[in-house]
Structure 1
Amino acid sequence: MNLKYTFYFIFIFTLCISCKKETVKNTSEVVKTSIKYAKGFDIVNENGNRYLVLKKVFQNGTNSYKYLLSDKSNFQNNTLKVPVEKLVITSTTHVPMVELLEKEKSIVGFPNTKYISSERTRALVDSGAITELGSEQSMNTEILIDLEPELVVGFSLHPNNKLYNNIKKLGIPVVFNGEWLEETPLGRAEWIKFFGALLGKEKKADSIFSVIEKNYLEAKKIAQSTEQKPKVLSGSMFKDTWYVPAGESFMAKFMSDANLDYIWKVTEGTGSLQLSFESVLDKAQFADFWLGCGLSETREQLISSNRHYDKFDAFNNKKIYTIASKKGPTGGLIYFELAPTRPDLVLKDMIKITNPEALPDYDLFFFKSME
């Protein structure tokens, strides 16, 4: 299974500051950044130079990486030539960001292209303009060398990744993307500015993110003004464990911003809570809605995976919503690809589901009522 899918497969069971900050100080000036929500990277000016600073791109990493953005390349000295014209990306979540910047034609290779759902980039795959590289953790380096990419944008759990280290030894620059580690919806979406810096589209990236941010905050304001605060259950069983979002996770943030009474909102952690079926039933049997129920598309599929799901009111009242029904032409889930870039649509979906009168003219984008 695609590694990025593995991260989000776990996530599906969990479904399941907005102020400028000083980031770099030298002897002559304080440098400010336009990065408002993302904690994993900065783009800064320092002494007339432009830098991409990566602060958290590995799950338990503490090191930061600073790259000079230049018109010349010297990766041994952490200098990146921009704009990048021949790019390899490794996660479907990178695709919408590159597309929104209108630079999908710069993509020359991708691992597991069958997971790409977007029509424009899918067309490039089908035409042969984007080359299949195999699995992202065992990419075909011979094909990669032939493509002569100027940069590989990777993701990894830890910095000592054999594949990416080998790619670097071949003389191909590798920069890691850490959007999947962000703990807020807008923090994830803001990584479009990372691609904007690499692709020479910084102003466009800023503009696109500003629209997404505005839409998100407006939807949040509408939700917070509603009187109803429905009780919400999330996630489903994987083997003998029910994974639900911890109270400090980005999914809990979504539900808080949608003005929902998320049952496990007062818990610690930014990942998942691992619970027994009995403990979930005890707290969530009478929940109003069930948002996210694994990869099941129908109630029949869901009940066949665990016959005890019918003990929940949300199941019997047909108040379950899934993201598994909306797929690309080759079977990739659109939510996995696009949702990190468009948190405004995720939030609007949650509001429409739980307080439909708050967004009377909005149609669900990612979620679908489970029949």
Structure 2
Amino acid sequence: MTITKRYYQHYNMLALCVLVWLSGFMLLFNSCGSRTATALDSGDTIQLVYAKYLQLIRHKGYTEAVVLNPWKQGGELHRYLLVPKGLEGDEVAKKLADQKTAITGTTPCDILRTPLTKSIITTSAHCQLLYELGRQQAIAGVCDLEYILIPDVQRRTSHKSRPYISNCGSSMQPDIERIMSLRPDALLLSPFENSGGYGKLSALQIPIIEAADYMETSPLGRSEWIKFYGLLYGSEKATSLFSGIEKSYLQLKAFAAKLPLGYSILTERKTRSVWYVSGGRSTIGTLLQDAHARYLFADDTHSGSLPMSPEQILAKADKVDVWATKYWGDHPLSRAELLQEYPGYSQLKAMKTGRVFQASTSSQPYFEQTSFHPERLLREFIILSHPETTRSLGALRYYLRL
């Protein structure tokens, strides 16, 4: 064998070794990159039975919460990396901060040190939930104070009260300077479709918790978000609270299923030229179905509100056995006031038979007490559609007969 041939053989072997080494290195590199990018997949998923727009994954040292986009199938609104406070958490948070972009990609992501202890809460329903979780001290500020029917919140907005709650103005136009002065650990607010972001709030560098729970389409779906809020605020009551709600709801549903099909219920009034009704697959539509009540739009497949013309509703007027609506004001609307609002109401069967009911949202904490407690509304709808059940379920709690 010539020297030249031996040289080329040696060269080829060397090149092959280098190629194999590089291939192995790239495989290892890509594997590590894949592990970082899909870190969520390596954790233990916390089972959620009803919630469609929330995912919880427990990892070593932190918990991942993924809020899915209710308006874009397969999309994500936000990801949160919940890291416990303390020295160990400091190390985990530092590592996650370095990997955050690789972990979440283009989805907005915040690292939250839990438990949160100083938050701005923009809805009365979430304020009430924090009280039920025993974490009311974490409420540092609220928006739309005039609509919050929680006596202790109103009391704590007095400068003489401790811990003090700051009035941060309207949720649509919050007081930015006041929020900045509070230096909260998070802002909890409800996202809306095509809202265009959060304006000046986004520039504050304060984590925004996008509470999309209100978009859940099943009654227990929104309630199951209690588990997420329990993790955020370090409440051990969250699991038992939800379990109690679920148990009560399913018991009432089973009770109603044994009853004959009840009265039909219409739950809304006309708004200007539109009469919004709940879709057949909406939370209200499901509640009425579970109450074993008739619902005029039960066959509809929408999960939100349906904008209908007054004429479309009045075409079914003779089938409306019960009309149960809500109002904000200092007194229930009288029959005369309802007819002044819209004379067409007189065509509803319920107006002719006197089965008209109203729930005040200004004098009683309707939204505070029912948003995460669908079992309370289910009970109301069972009684409304099956009046004979008052013997076993008791009187209505929120709705009063006109």
- Category of TM-score, reference length = shorter chain: 0.7 to 0.9
C-alpha change, 1:342 and 1:293, in structure 2 (3 Å) is closer
Aligned to 1:81: 113
Pairing partner for 2:51 from 38, 42, 55: 38
Pairing partner for 1:174 from 208, 211, 220: 208
Give, in whole Å, the separation in 1 of the partners of 2:115 and 2:399. 36
* Equivalent pair of 2:66/2:76 in contact (CA under 8 Å): no
Aligned to 1:334: 365
Give, in whole Å, the separation in 2 of the partners of 1:362 and 1:222. 14
Amino acid at match of 1:94: H
Aligned to 1:19: none
* Equivalent pair of 1:222/1:358 in contact (CA under 8 Å): no
Whether 1:231 aligns to 2:264 is: yes
- Structure 1 residues without counterparts, runs of 5 or longer: 1-24
Amino acid at match of 1:342: H
Deviations 1:69-97 (A, max 9, x none): 11256796431100011111111221121
Amino acid at match of 1:142: E
* Equivalent pair of 1:233/1:284 in contact (CA under 8 Å): no
Whether 1:311 aligns to 2:347 is: yes
Whether 1:199 aligns to 2:233 is: yes
C-alpha change, 1:65 and 1:275, in structure 2 (3 Å) is closer
C-alpha change, 1:44 and 1:27, in structure 2 (3 Å) is closer
Give, in whole Å, the separation in 1 of the partners of 2:193 and 2:305. 20
Aligned-pair distance for 1:59?
4.2
**Which consecutive segments of 4 or more residues in structure 1 shift more than 6 A?**
25-28, 73-76
Aligned-pair distance for 1:294?
5.7
Aligned-pair distance for 1:241?
1.8
Deviations 1:295-339 (A, max 9, x none): 563323212211221222201211112123x534xxxx6223332
Aligned-pair distance for 1:30?
6.8
Aligned-pair distance for 1:148?
1.1
Amino acid at match of 1:69: L
Aligned length: 338
Whether 1:353 aligns to 2:384 is: yes
Aligned-pair distance for 1:27?
9.9
Whether 1:254 aligns to 2:290 is: no
C-alpha change, 1:312 and 1:167, in structure 2 (3 Å) is closer
Aligned to 2:309: 276
Any idea what SS the aligned residue of 1:169 has? helix
Aligned to 2:374: 343
Aligned-pair distance for 1:160?
6.5
What percent of counterpart residues are identical? 25
Aligned to 2:156: 124
Amino acid at match of 2:122: T
Return the structure number with greater helix share: 2
Deviations 1:340-371 (A, max 9, x none): 1111110001111221333524232222212x
Deviations 1:183-233 (A, max 9, x none): 1111112222221111001x3111101111111111111111002422223
* Equivalent pair of 2:359/2:398 in contact (CA under 8 Å): yes
Give, in whole Å, the separation in 1 of the partners of 2:194 and 2:273. 32
* Equivalent pair of 2:383/2:389 in contact (CA under 8 Å): yes
C-alpha change, 1:355 and 1:169, in structure 2 (3 Å) is same
Give, in whole Å, the separation in 2 of the partners of 1:302 and 1:28. 55
Amino acid at match of 1:114: E
Amino acid at match of 2:181: D
Give, in whole Å, the separation in 2 of the partners of 1:161 and 1:133. 21
Aligned to 1:115: 147
Aligned-pair distance for 1:159?
7.5
Deviations 1:34-79 (A, max 9, x none): 32211121222134532222123x6458224322211256796431
* Equivalent pair of 1:231/1:263 in contact (CA under 8 Å): yes
Amino acid at match of 1:252: G
C-alpha change, 1:111 and 1:314, in structure 2 (3 Å) is same
Aligned to 1:4: none
Amino acid at match of 2:301: E
* Equivalent pair of 1:235/1:294 in contact (CA under 8 Å): no
* Equivalent pair of 1:51/1:69 in contact (CA under 8 Å): yes
Pairing partner for 1:152 from 187, 211, 222: 187
- Structure 2 residues without counterparts, runs of 5 or longer: 1-37, 101-109
* Equivalent pair of 1:321/1:369 in contact (CA under 8 Å): yes
* Equivalent pair of 2:278/2:285 in contact (CA under 8 Å): yes
Aligned-pair distance for 1:121?
2.3
What is the TM-score when the length of structure 2 is the normalising length?
Answer: 0.77
C-alpha change, 1:167 and 1:96, in structure 2 (3 Å) is same
Which one has a bigger Cα radius of gyration? 2
Give, in whole Å, the separation in 2 of the partners of 1:274 and 1:160. 20
Give, in whole Å, the separation in 2 of the partners of 1:42 and 1:270. 20
